[in-house]
Amino acid sequence: MAGQVSRRQALRAVTAAALLVSGTGAGPLQAQTPAAASKGVRVLRIGNQKGLLSLLKARGTLEQKLAPLGVRVTWTEFNAGPVQLEALNVGSIDFGDVGEAPPIFAQAAGAPLAYVASSPPRPQLEALIVPKDSPIQSVADLKGKRLAFNKGSNVQFFLVKLLEKHGLKYSDVQPVFLPPADARAAFERGSVDGWLIWDPFLAAAEVTLQARQIANATDVVNNRGYYFSSLSYAKENADVIGVAIEELNAIDLWARDHRDAAAQELAAIFGLPLTVVQRYLNRGEFGVLPITPEVLDEQQQIADTFLGLKLIPKPLNLRDAAV
């Protein structure tokens, strides 16, 4: 019973967190008034990557929950977080899921970003991999090597901290900026020495290419996932954001407790072998958590790291942004 109470409390906290906008210094958001809602059907435009949002999309339960509020839902799939946040910045989507680093680049570029919830730490869901017959055996062997990764994604921060942990600098390797599909092709051709990638792309490379992990993010970075909206959408539609978070938490906890069934559904959705999706889900962490000062401190570390490397043009203050 205590676990059930804790879960309900956590969910209430997450829903409350949806009413606070980080990135602006704004106070509590106001739900759209009945008069505003009566002006016409509202739309929630979701941008998603391959993950549990895909399961929510396939089931259609969010559409059912939002229908009484007069909200229509649309979906667009993206292959990585940076392009999702570009879509947010130009007003093409209202909500989505993303890793740790893309929001920092987006905020530095002036995107009107609102953090609304996070995942628990998920360090095993990203890794540096090499071909099965590669001579690279450790992080120390990476000096001078060509490493593929998606520019501006969470794996870029992972790489910086991984190298730092092993006494190397970011400038000691040769970054090759490629989105996941192109990076896999380069990895298969042998035109890069290693690839920093996240699940389920990671699991697919391990299962179908017998790729070897040199290191995952355990004891390096937390690798949280974030759910985001835009400032303007969150201000006008806090009720919609709250419902979306509740449904995400429900699907996350279901997948945690029914991993085999979830793997079968997702394998069909992704068009991936069942063994790939099972590997991905079996090393994941589940649940939707509120945005706390501690979580924003983690983001602050990323922002400060990228500023020091001159990867973003100006400093950000994540704590002030959450007030």
Which CATH class, in words, describes the domain spanning 2-121+224-322?
alpha beta
Domain limits of the chain?
A: 2-121+224-322, 123-216
Residue 205: both structure tokens together: 């490379």
pLDDT score of 10 more than 80? no
Residue 85 · residue 106 · CB < 8 Å: yes
What is the pLDDT, as a whole number, of residue 28? 29
Q: Which pTM does this prediction carry?
A: 0.81
Q: According to the model, what pLDDT value does residue 264 have? A: 96
Contact status, residue 211 vs residue 187, Cβ threshold 8 Å: yes
Domains 2-121+224-322 and 123-216 in one fold: yes
98 or 209, which is more confident: 209
> Residue 108: helix, strand or coil by DSSP?
helix
Residue 151 burial by Cβ neighbours in a 10 Å radius (0-12, 13-18, 19+): middle
The answer, yes or no, to whether residue 4 has pLDDT greater than 70, is no
198 sits in which H/E element: strand 194-198
Provide mean pLDDT across the span 239-268.
Answer: 95
The CATH number given to 123-216 is: 3.40.190.10
pLDDT computed for residue 51 by the predictor: 83
Q: What is the pLDDT of residue 40?
A: 66
79 — pLDDT class (breaks 50, 70, 90): confident
> What is the C-alpha separation between 281 and 255, in angstroms, rounded?
8
On whether the CB atoms of residues 176 and 148 are closer than 8 A, the answer is yes
27 falls in which pLDDT band (50, 70, 90)? Answer: very low
Q: Does residue 17 have a pLDDT over 60?
A: no
For residues 54 and 51, give the distance between their C-alpha atoms in angstroms, rounded to a whole number. 6
